[in-house]
């Protein structure tokens, strides 16, 4: 059975992604590590535990990680996900508890104890992963794969004109991870904004399914749905579930390419930009794979099968 490790800054789309992964019977999530990002670390841990309870499958350990970026103050996104990160649902505290141990140490231990078996998925800023690589560089060659929800592909950013949120929050960490030698696949925010976008018909299908899990997944994204109205789009994008889908189901990736990339972390104007040398003008060997597009029909079928 394939073994996964998921690092998350748990807000509404992270919750859907976690639920999907936990309900896929052909894989095992060995642990969930939590980083500050969308919401402060306490809220992100709470939301991860709630997501496990909602999934109604099994309970992987949840480990608390970095509470702020490496070099900067934390920039959260409650304006997109709600004050609680979950669409202002005002959810009660989960019954299950987080596990003892720091996320960074657990990332190292789990990868080193399972050489070439762990498939890592990152759904938030890369702070925990950068700290883990700094503490034990050997994990770069011991991890089987790393799928990063980060960057904006070849399009504009979603928090600045050039930067996507996860990279922007801790560009120094992203720079470290990109240069670590890890086998990286980036799934940018752009992948969730085309035919994979969850529109009003998709939402109605989920609500009509009678599944309380599907209802939860819709409700926790209410603030995100309101946010998308400013783009004249009715529904919500799910960047973290697209990353989970790309990692667990490679056949869902319909277009991808390899290229050399770098992270801008020194300029205030372009901080957090993921620069992709798609035309190989720098004549440098690729250091990452980039998912350009998912098969939207396959993606939605997988998601609906898992949560409906």
Listed in sequence order, the DSSP H helices in the chain are: 12-23, 41-55, 78-81, 103-113, 127-135, 139-142, 165-169, 171-178, 200-208, 212-219, 222-228, 239-248, 296-307
Rg (alpha carbons) of the chain, rounded to whole number:
18
For tokens 């894989």, what's the residue?
A: 27
Task: Report CA torsion sign: 273, 276, 282, 288.
Answer: positive
Q: What angle do CA 210, 30, 212 make, to 5 degrees?
A: 10
Crossing angle of helices 200-208/296-307, nearest 10°?
A: 30
**212 exposed, middle or buried (CB, 10 Å; 0-12, 13-18, 19+)?**
exposed
Q: Among this protein's residues, is 109 annotated catalytic? A: no
Q: Of 9, 190, 202, 240, which residue is the catalytic one?
A: 9
Q: Which residues carry out catalysis? A: 9
């Amino acid at each position: 059975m394939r073994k996964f490790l998921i690092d998350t800054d748990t807000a509404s789309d992270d919750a859907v992604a976690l639920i999907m992964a936990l309900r896929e019977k052909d894989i095992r999530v060995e642990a969930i590590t939590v980083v500050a990002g969308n919401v402060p670390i306490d809220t992100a841990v709470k939301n991860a535990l709630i997501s496990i309870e909602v999934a109604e499958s099994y309970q992987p350990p949840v480990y608390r990680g970095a509470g702020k970026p490496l070099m900067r103050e934390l920039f959260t996104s409650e304006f997109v996900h709600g004050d609680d990160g979950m669409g202002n649902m005002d959810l009660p505290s989960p019954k299950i508890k987080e596990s003892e141990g720091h996320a960074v140490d657990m990332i190292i231990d789990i990868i080193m104890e399972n050489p070439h078996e762990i498939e890592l998925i990152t759904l938030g800023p890369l702070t925990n992963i950068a700290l883990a690589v700094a503490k034990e560089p050997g994990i770069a060659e011991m991890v089987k794969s790393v799928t990063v929800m980060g960057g904006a592909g070849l399009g504009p950013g979603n928090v600045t004109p050039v930067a996507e949120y996860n990279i922007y929050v801790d560009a120094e960490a992203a720079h470290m991870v990109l240069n670590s030698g890890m086998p990286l696949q980036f799934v940018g925010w752009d992948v969730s904004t085309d035919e994979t976008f969850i529109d009003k018909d998709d939402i109605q299908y989920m609500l009509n399914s009678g599944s309380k899990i599907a209802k939860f997944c819709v409700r926790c994204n209410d603030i995100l749905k309101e946010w998308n109205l400013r783009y004249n789009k009715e529904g919500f994008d799910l960047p973290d579930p697209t990353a989970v889908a790309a990692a667990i189901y490679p056949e869902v990736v319909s277009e991808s390419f390899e290229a050399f990339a770098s992270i801008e972390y020194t300029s205030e104007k372009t901080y957090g930009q993921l620069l992709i040398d798609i035309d190989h003008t720098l004549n440098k060997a690729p250091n990452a794979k980039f998912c350009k597009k998912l098969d939207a029909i396959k993606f939605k079928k997988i998601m609906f099968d898992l949560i409906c």
